[in-house]
Amino acid sequence: MNPFFRFINSSVGKKIIMSFTGLFLSIFLVEHLAGNLLLLKGDNGEAFNAYAMFMGGNPVVRIMEIGLLSLILVHIVNGIRLWWNNRSAREKGYGSYKLQENTTLQSRMMKLSAALVLFFLIVHMRTFWVHARIFGEHDIASIVYAKFQQGIYVIFYLIALVVVGYHLRHGFQSAFQTLGLRTKKYYSIIEFVSVLFWLAVPAGFAFIVVYLYFTGSSPVVSVQ
């Protein structure tokens, strides 16, 4: 078999792919948070809309966006393949497979959180991305302001952000483990970086959601 296919089909290859795609997706979240902070500028979303227009119109950014969506897809498909492999390996190894005995609570929680993050992403893309990229809406900030005037969205986002934080926390732990970086030497720097990603980034998004709910200063448009 071609070495590339041998690598992506091996268990260690799948784990490495999971780690790298997860780390790149986490970096996207930092950029996304920085862009979203423009919503707080108090200029009725002008700066945010200018940023969103730039992101939507620049061909280099559009190519990066295709890269981002492909990374999300690879992360999901590879995660399902890894889960399937582990499951088959356990079935072969133990004869009778008992879920409770053979999977740790943490790995089950990772699968559950992954499914919930995916559900959140589908709702999120339908709520904002479809308006920005498919319907070509120019005033995307007003849509964001209108959505976060609704308590149900605020609660949904806050719960989703806790789940995102959980998924990132354990994702970071296993990524660094897989890449052999969870050693004494790097322990404190890795702990610091992962706290930034799993705690500070979701907390930043949560702050935006709560801030917009309580200030709600911008014109409210009707959104389906």
Binding site residues, ligand HEM, CB under 6 A:
29, 32, 36, 52, 55, 65, 68-69, 124, 128-129, 132, 140, 144, 161, 164, 205, 208-209
Query: Would you list the DSSP string of 36-94?
Result: HGGGGSSSTTHHHHHHHHHHHH-HHHHHHHHHHHHHHHHHHHHHHHHHHHHHHHHHHHH
Q: Report CA dihedral (118, 202, 33, 123) to the nearest 10 degrees.
A: 30
Residue number of the CB closest to ligand HEM reads 128
Q: Which is nearer to ligand HEM, 36 or 44 (CB)?
A: 36
Q: Which is nearer to ligand HEM, 80 or 203 (CB)?
A: 203
Best CA proximity match to 38, nearest among 144, 137, 154: 144
Q: Which is nearer to ligand HEM, 69 or 89 (CB)?
A: 69
Best CA proximity match to 157, nearest among 20, 21, 36, 31: 36
Q: Which is nearer to ligand HEM, 87 or 133 (CB)?
A: 133
User: Cβ of residue 37: shortest distance to ligand HEM, in angstroms?
Assistant: 9
User: Cβ of residue 146: shortest distance to ligand HEM, in angstroms?
Assistant: 12
User: Cβ of residue 193: shortest distance to ligand HEM, in angstroms?
Assistant: 18
Query: Would you list the DSSP string of 190-214?
Result: HHHHHHIIIIIHHHHHHHHHHHHHH
User: Cβ of residue 124: shortest distance to ligand HEM, in angstroms?
Assistant: 5
- Enter the tokens of residue 202: 């979701």
User: Cβ of residue 16: shortest distance to ligand HEM, in angstroms?
Assistant: 22
Q: Which is nearer to ligand HEM, 123 or 179 (CB)?
A: 123
Residue 8 and residue 14 in contact, taking contact as beta carbons nearer than 8 Å: yes
